[in-house]
């Protein structure tokens, strides 16, 4: 059967996460329902990673096996039509080899976290950021973040319900940008690794916020990491500011197979 890779954008607010669950609205479930409008016996898609309730996607990647040989532009258009009115968009569809796998072929996942400082409540960004009403010291947060780069036992920053076989992971990037906005600032965290533990990014950001507001000194991030104890973690921040920003592959199928739209 022909295999197609899908690049997917979604607003996670209405969903109980990515993974299909009986009786619950999920991103995976909505996309599979749309695919069944095109192929009634369609079974399931496989994704590069799961996202929790309220987490958003800028460029999630999944693959689907279809019985029909679709022209990719037509499949893209048909899926977006059947996804209405869900806040889910298929950004691109490409044909991939039959043994290509969205999850197992991925070599890195990239996340963004958006933290908004503003006294007035968020309106347009409500549900899309974590908001605090005090400024943060970005220099101190950047100093603290350096302690997390590299290979470590990240038990401190791992959910107690995490099912990963090992807490040892390699963090390749954790950078922080401060963006001036009217009446405040947005702090944008960019985090990159091959894979992540459950709640790892939200645990990082929650602890870094403690540094930025002055409750922790930067060295306390190192101490928390070395404690390998969940009790040493700062507060786990809300899911609303977290985005799966991209997935890396040895050869990006979307770059290699990009096709112009056909009328």
Establish whether 52 is a catalytic residue: yes
Phi, psi of 136 (to 5 degrees): -120, 150
Catalytically annotated residue among 22, 33, 41, 52: 52
> Which positions are annotated as active-site residues?
52
């Amino acid at each position: 059967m022909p295999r197609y890779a899908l690049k997917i954008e979604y607003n996670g607010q209405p969903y109980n996460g990515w993974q299909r669950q009986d009786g619950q609205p999920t991103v995976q479930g909505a996309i599979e329902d749309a695919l069944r409008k095109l192929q009634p016996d369609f079974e399931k898609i496989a994704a590069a990673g799961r996202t929790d309730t309220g987490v958003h996607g800028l460029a999630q990647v999944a693959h689907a096996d279809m019985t029909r040989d679709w022209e990719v532009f037509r499949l893209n258009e048909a899926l977006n039509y059947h996804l209405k009115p869900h806040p889910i968009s298929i950004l691109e569809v490409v044909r991939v080899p039959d043994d290509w796998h969205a999850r197992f072929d991925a070599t890195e996942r990239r996340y963004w976290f958006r933290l908004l400082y503003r006294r007035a409540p968020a309106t347009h960004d409500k549900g899309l950021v974590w908001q605090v009403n005090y400024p943060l010291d970005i220099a101190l947060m950047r100093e603290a973040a350096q302690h997390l780069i590299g290979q470590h036992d990240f038990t401190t920053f791992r959910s107690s319900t995490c099912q990963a076989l090992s807490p040892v992971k390699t963090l390749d990037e954790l950078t922080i940008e401060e963006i001036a906005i009217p009446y405040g600032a947005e702090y944008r965290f960019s985090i990159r690794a091959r894979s992540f533990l459950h709640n790892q990014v939200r645990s990082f950001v929650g602890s870094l916020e403690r540094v930025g507001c002055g409750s922790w000194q930067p060295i306390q991030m190192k101490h928390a990491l070395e404690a390998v104890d969940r009790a040493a973690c700062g507060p786990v921040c809300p899911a609303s500011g977290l985005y799966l920003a991209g997935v890396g592959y040895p050869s990006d199928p979307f770059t290699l197979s990009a096709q112009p739209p056909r009328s």
